[in-house]
């Protein structure tokens, strides 16, 4: 197996080293990485790295995804598999797939679901795209737990980004809360509160968060305005709390609009019914002078 790794940063170096240990002939290209993993043959150019590869793995920043695909495509073998492990959007993944397939190769987008330094190449992943089965088999051989989605490129990345709505925002909220607790002299108490919310019947809590946020949006919005004021007094940045104020304000406006709409719809139906009846001669308007 000849495997090429584009990007030899933290994650790329770990995967490349695992591939070499697995017995692959591994080439790597990264103009910025200061070191080369053991067992990896460093290539001087992108074209040189991918030219004879059975599998090309891209582990760079998402912003480079399309550019790398365009540069690599002319040099891909007809039976090559091109796997993009970046966090580029589903729309970008779909465009990259077209570039790769137009070159005669097959494509998979791969979403990494955990910190690679912790579990290495065994980190959980999701794969999709025309080469999903091939990449799934390869990652499983490295010891990874893989969820394969039998769908177009971009499906795996979509799942990861939807997960990130929770994971990255939750991390930001926790940091803000702990920082505020520390500033107020009750960090341990705040940590206990966080732990309590992240345990127990989580499924029931999800339902409560969703329904309660809408039902009590006005009151909670006022409460979060007080939170922002308090964090300001503590000298703690309140980006997440400020976002909560905007979020709850939007929910409150939506709820108010939904409550108004049934009454408006009923009045409109009554108006139309009356107009129809009048046009049909069923209702006779009497002059007020008679």
Average pLDDT over the chain, rounded to whole?
Answer: 91
Give pLDDT, residue 286: 38
Those residues whose C-beta lies under 8 Å from the C-beta of residue 82, and which sit 6 or more positions away, are 56, 58, 69, 72, 76, 100, 105, 106, 107, 108, 131
> For residue 35, what are its two tokens?
């070191």
Q: Are strands 125-128 and 106-112 parallel, antiparallel or unpaired?
A: antiparallel
Q: Which of 121-130, 149-158, 241-250, 276-285 has the lowest mean pLDDT?
A: 276-285
Alpha-carbon span 219 to 213, nearest angstrom: 10
Question: Of 160, 168, 205, 215, which one is the catalytic site residue?
Answer: 160
Sheet of 81-84, strand order: 40-42, 25-29, 2-6, 55-58, 81-84, 106-112, 125-128, 146-148
Alpha-carbon span 113 to 144, nearest angstrom: 11
Instruction: Please tell me the total number of residues recorded for the chain in this structure.
Output: 290
Higher model confidence: residue 284 or residue 121? 121
User: Dihedrals φ, ψ of 83, to 5°?
Assistant: -115, 120
Q: What is the mean pLDDT of residues 166-194?
A: 97
Q: What is the mean pLDDT of residues 88-109?
A: 96
Give pLDDT, residue 270: 56
Give pLDDT, residue 287: 40
State the number of CA atoms in the 13 A half-sphere of 210 facing the CB. Answer: 6
146 φψ region: left (φ > 0), alpha (ψ -120 to 50), beta (else): beta
Alpha-carbon span 233 to 285, nearest angstrom: 67
What would the pLDDT profile of 201-254 be if each residue is shown by its tens digit? 999 999 999 999 999 999 999 999 999 999 999 999 999 999 999 999 999 999
215 is catalytic: no
Q: What is the mean pLDDT of residues 21-44?
A: 95
Those residues whose C-beta lies under 8 Å from the C-beta of residue 43, and which sit 6 or more positions away, are 4, 27, 28, 29, 49
Give pLDDT, residue 289: 43
Give pLDDT, residue 9: 94
Give pLDDT, residue 147: 97
Tokens 């955990």 belong to 114
Give pLDDT, residue 257: 86
Q: What is the mean pLDDT of residues 117-146?
A: 97
Where does the pLDDT of residue 259 fall: very low under 50, low under 70, confident under 90, or very high at 90 and above?
confident
Of the chain, the percentage scoring pLDDT greater than 90 comes to 87
Those residues whose C-beta lies under 8 Å from the C-beta of residue 105, and which sit 6 or more positions away, are 73, 76, 77, 78, 79, 80, 81, 82
Claim: this prediction has a pTM higher than 0.85: no
- Asked whether the beta carbons of 246 and 217 are under 8 A apart, the reply is no
Give pLDDT, residue 3: 97
CATH of domain 2-159: 3.40.50.720
Give pLDDT, residue 268: 63
Does residue 281 carry a pLDDT above 80?
A: no
């Amino acid at each position: 197996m000849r495997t090429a790794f584009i990007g030899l940063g933290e994650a790329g170096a770990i995967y490349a080293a695992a591939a070499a240990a697995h017995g692959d002939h591994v080439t790597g290209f990264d103009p910025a990485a200061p070191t080369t993993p053991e067992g990896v043959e460093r290539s001087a150019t992108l074209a040189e790295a991918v030219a004879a590869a059975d599998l090309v793995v891209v582990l760079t920043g998402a912003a480079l995804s399309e550019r790398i695909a365009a540069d690599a495509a002319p040099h891909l073998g007809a039976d090559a598999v091109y796997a993009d492990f970046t966090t580029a959007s589903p729309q970008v993944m779909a465009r990259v797939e077209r570039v790769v397939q137009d070159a005669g190769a097959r494509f998979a987008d791969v979403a990494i679901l955990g910190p690679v330094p912790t579990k290495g190449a065994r980190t959980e992943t999701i794969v999709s795209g025309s080469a999903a089965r091939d990449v799934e088999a390869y990652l499983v051989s490295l010891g990874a737990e893989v969820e394969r989605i039998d769908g177009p490129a971009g499906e795996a990345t979509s799942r990861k980004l939807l997960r990130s709505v929770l994971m990255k925002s939750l991390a930001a909220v926790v940091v803000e809360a702990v920082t505020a607790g520390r500033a107020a002299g009750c960090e341990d108490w705040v940590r206990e509160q966080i732990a309590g919310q992240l345990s127990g019947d989580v499924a029931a809590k999800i339902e409560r968060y969703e329904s309660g946020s809408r039902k009590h949006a006005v009151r909670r919005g006022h409460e979060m305005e007080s939170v922002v004021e308090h964090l300001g007094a503590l000298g703690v940045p309140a980006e997440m709390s400020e976002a909560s104020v905007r979020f709850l304000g939007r929910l409150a406006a939506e709820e108010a609009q939904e409550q108004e709409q049934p009454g408006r719809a009923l009045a409109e139906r009554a108006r139309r019914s009356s107009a129809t009846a009048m046009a049909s001669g069923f209702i006779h308007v009497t002059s007020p002078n008679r």
